[in-house]
Amino acid sequence: MKVLVLYTTVDGNTEAVSNAIAEKLDADISKIVRVSKIRGFGIDKLRSWFEVKFNRRPGIFPFKHDPRDYDLIFIGTPVWYDSYNPVFNTLFEVIKIYDRKIALFSTGETDSQKALDKFSKKLQDSIILGRYHCIEPIWEDNDEDTKRILDEAAEWAKGVADEAEKMIEQEEFERRKTIYKF
């Protein structure tokens, strides 16, 4: 089964989770990088609020892997103003992701599921096998806590991948049955 982790990050939290998942599943990984850089503080806070509020589509660089080539796609975002990062507005415009097995994850300052809710709505034409949110892993006070959060995320991803694998086997079984029938 081919697995891709597709994510964006500004400060590295979502990246840490993405790396943990990709490592656990031996998956390919692609980072969505903005053309015009944005920071998580100062005047850029206003810029980012504006982008979220008005569903802007900031330019993004081409990335390494085409999600449509994969059986299972993990999509990860930092929570921005109770939503997903606006680079995904651009991505969803450029590449239509539908009828795919996907799993969504986010990192945030709080326990809010709102970005995942919006992601789920946006990707409702796909099969959403799981959702996961965690709080800023890399800013934990000690390395053990960071590791625990990343391990838990990776375990969640493993569960999702196992389920996807079973579904694919079942689909293949049904497909063969159909072939033999006719």
Ligand X SMILES: Cc1cc2nc3c(=O)[nH]c(=O)nc-3n(C[C@H](O)[C@H](O)[C@H](O)COP(=O)(O)O)c2cc1C
CB closer to ligand X out of 9 and 146: 9
Task: Tell me if 110 contacts ligand X by CB under 6 A.
Answer: yes
Task: Tell me if 10 contacts ligand X by CB under 6 A.
Answer: yes
Site for ligand X in 139-158 (CB under 6 A): none
CA distance 8 to 18: 9
Site for ligand X (CB under 6 A): which residue of 4, 5, 6, 14?
A: 14
Angle between helices 114-122 and 87-94 (to 10 degrees): 10
The DSSP 8-state label assigned to residue 64 in this structure reads: S
Residue ranges with strand state E in 46-142: 72-78, 101-108, 127-135
Task: Tell me if 113 contacts ligand X by CB under 6 A.
Answer: no
Q: How far is the CB of 78 from ligand X (least distance, A)?
A: 3
Task: Tell me if 13 contacts ligand X by CB under 6 A.
Answer: yes
Q: What angle do CA 165, 170, 176 make, to 5 degrees?
A: 125
Counting residues that bind ligand X (by CB under 6 A) gives 21
Task: Tell me if 109 contacts ligand X by CB under 6 A.
Answer: yes
CB closer to ligand X out of 17 and 25: 17
Site for ligand X (CB under 6 A): which residue of 9, 30, 90, 126?
A: 9
Beta bridge partners of 77: 106
- Candidates 11-19, 27-35, 67-75, 159-167: pick the segment binding ligand X (CB under 6 A): 11-19
Question: Is residue 3 within a helix (H) or strand (E), and if so which, with residue range?
Answer: strand 3-7
Distances (CA, A) of 18 to 22, 23, 52, 68: 6, 8, 22, 19
Task: Tell me if 117 contacts ligand X by CB under 6 A.
Answer: no
CB closer to ligand X out of 9 and 90: 9
Burial of 142 (0-12, 13-18, 19+ CB in 10 A): exposed
Query: Which residues of the shown chain bind ligand X in the complex (CB under 6 A)?
Result: 9-15, 40, 45, 48, 78-82, 107-110, 112, 136
